[in-house]
Amino acid sequence: MRRYSVFAIAREALRFHSGWEKAWKSPEPKKNYDVIVIGAGGHGLATAYYLGKNFGITNVAVIEKGWLGGGNTGRNTTIIRSNYLQNSSSAIFEKARSLYETMSQDLNYNVMFSPRGLLMLAQTHHEVRGYKRTVHANQLQGVATQWLSPEQVKELVPIINLHGPRYPILGAHYQARGGTARHDAVAWGYARACSDMGMDIIQNCEVTAVHQAHGQVTGVSTTKGEISCKKLAVVVAGHSGVVAGMAGFRLPVESIALQAMVSEPIKPCLDVVIMANTVHGYISQSDKGELVIGGGTDGFNNYTQRGSFHHVEETLRALVTTFPLISRLKLLRQWGGIVDMTGDRSPIISKTPLGNCFINCGWGTGGFKAIPGSGWAMAELVAKGEPGVLASEFDMWRFKEGRFIDESVAAGVAH
């Protein structure tokens, strides 16, 4: 694989850009692999990448029923943060955030990481108490966050209305190194690195059955034929329950559509990421000038990716009172993504009842920010057969045993 650099760009410019090679190969599947990863989204590709980088396991197939990054990885609002309350949550999200810092250099691919800062608005006294508690917890965890007064919020965000008629701004939980990255570039960068290590990325290849013998996984049936494997990693987000059913076990997750939308592009007016959980809305501005807006989840289980107009209306109505400027903008497009929610709003990175079958799911509304940390932890679980420090508390049996990792305030509504 050729390295991307300013010199490569100059060289190809002289050749009218005729010499660029494909970023990753698209081979036909082999009959046998050491590891099959189901799901070529960010989490699945990161799992494969760290299997190769950290453990030298490269006889890997990443199978995707659609196109690479075409699920939630390409349908989110790209928020990155690690200011969670529980120790296990902040550890894996802070690992992910730190890996995002150097990802462009590690992958030799510009993922456009932008640590522009992130504000979580407190608009009720209950939120003030909750966020201040999280700030104190973050200080003990070594995660750099702080509490801001309304006046400090206004200084960072001049377009904000502090005195909204429904929910005034009472302060904010601020993480200066939070921010955004380019979601497609994250998937493409991991895919390019995996392909360079000799892994097979197989698109348009749906898994239709999971095979087992004597309590151990042996392979999968796909629309491109039978493929055997020694280990299986299921990383399919909203369809986790479907694949788990093929493997013969149930998951404590539910699938729900999450809304997002973008406005027409405008001049720069917002250089931080803002979350407003009370009104179920969050907003940032893209490099192209669009305002990227997200809302809450649907109130019912579904697998739609179209979104729903009543959520668009609710989200925009709430945000207009906080940011009056956006009332004049036109909506450019809107969409939905399928998220898998657990009861405690924390993920599952776990062994399963089927031997050598491992699952990574339940990231709910916060999957994008976790991609590198999730892949790091999942790769360790698959390679060693036992969870490492990052994943040890996220097993699927915690719900049966009452060991909840409650992040409903931090993750239950927005990112």
Could you report the per-residue pLDDT of 200-255, keeping only the tens digit for each?
999 999 999 999 999 999 999 999 999 999 999 999 999 999 999 999 999 999 99
- In this structure, the dihedral spanned by the alpha carbons of residues 271, 276, 277 and 283, taken in order and rounded to 10 degrees, is -50
306 band by pLDDT with thresholds 50, 70 and 90: confident
Quote the pTM value. 0.95
CB burial of 105-118 (b: ≥16 within 10 Å; e: otherwise) equals: ebbebebbbbbbbb
Interval 56-83: pLDDT, tens: 999 999 999 999 999 999 989 999 999 9
Q: What is the CATH number of domain 113-178+255-342?
A: 3.30.9.10
Class of domain 24-78+183-252+345-411: alpha beta
Interval 241-258: pLDDT, tens: 999 999 999 999 999 988
Residues above pLDDT 70, as percent of the chain: 98
Interval 108-167: pLDDT, tens: 999 999 999 999 999 999 999 999 999 999 999 999 999 999 999 999 999 999 998 788
Give the residue from 92, 113, 89 showing the smallest Cα distance to 103: 113
Q: With a cut of 80, say whether residue 308 has pLDDT above it.
A: no
Give the residue from 384, 320, 351 showing the smallest Cα distance to 55: 384
Under a CB-based contact definition with an 8 Å cutoff, are residues 254 and 281 in contact? no
| Mean of pLDDT over the chain | 93
Residue 338's identity, in one-letter code, is I
Annotated domain spans of the chain: 24-78+183-252+345-411, 113-178+255-342
How far apart CA 322 and CA 305 sit, in angstroms, is 28
| Most trustworthy range by pLDDT among 73-77, 270-274, 409-413 | 270-274
